[in-house]
Amino acid sequence: MTDRIALITGAAQGIGLACAEALAEDGCRVVLADLKESVTEEAARLGGHGYVCDMGDPAQIADLFDRIEAEVGPVSVLVNNAGIAIGADFLEMSEAQFRKVLDVNLVGVFLATQRAARTMVAQGIEGAIVNMSSINAQVAIPQIAGYCASKGGVMQLTKVASLALAPHNIRVNAVGPGSIDTEMMASVNADPAAFDRAMSRTPLKRPGTAREIGDVVAFLASPKASYVTGETIYVDGGRLALNYTV
């Protein structure tokens, strides 16, 4: 992985930052993008480059890749991690709320994947793209309709892109986290009853760590996963395998 340029979106904290750390340790030149300006500090700590970007804005996505290619070089590893969730009762969720989640979580992933792949194809780069899906691609929660729909879309988009890009030796995979100890899980951690409910449906009986996701992402981006494409690997402590009748 030495000197491969890896772009990680949503990388100022949590899972995205853990992915950047894992890839940097594997020798990648990391480029971090996030809405938060602190992304530049984290990137500097890792010896990389940081850019402020809204992954729900097509113009900013295009500008991000233009700047990276001009200032750093072509991206050969893309980690589409940026994502948001908006909670609302299903009957009360507005169209604007639903669209906002899809714009970041699904449309942004499509645009970034397409833009990165165009350069990879043009320059003969055998790249790797890793998308961040979720167990909510399969497990529905009615209070986060947009999030569930977007992650299901990411799962299918991963398969579509893997088939489209396979002739160019560009691999596309996804990771589906379960309950991970990040800011998104903070409200669950703060509520003992909610935490116990979450762990009751997690066979390993603990939340995962951001680094445990980052390590799987780094594996999928590496030559060790050279024959893996079109897959979603669920890192969920056994959640999806759980049979409540056992």
Catalytic residues: 147
- Report the distance separating Cα 38 and Cα 89, nearest Å: 32
- Cα–Cα distances (Å) from 23 to 7, 18, 198, 215, 216, in that order, read 10, 9, 30, 8, 10
The length of the chain in residues reads: 246
- In 61-127, which ranges are E strands? 77-80
- Cα–Cα distances (Å) from 192 to 78, 195, 199, in that order, read 37, 5, 10
Distance of CA 98 to the CA centre of its chain: 19
- Cα–Cα distances (Å) from 170 to 28, 165, 227, in that order, read 17, 5, 11
- Report the distance separating Cα 61 and Cα 30, nearest Å: 17
Residues linked to residue 233 through DSSP beta bridges, in sequence order: 175
The pair of structure tokens assigned to 88 is: 């609302």
For 132, phi then psi, to 5°, come to -95, 105
User: Which residues neighbour 1 within 8 Å (Cβ) at sequence distance 6 or greater?
Assistant: 23, 26, 27, 28, 77, 221, 222, 223
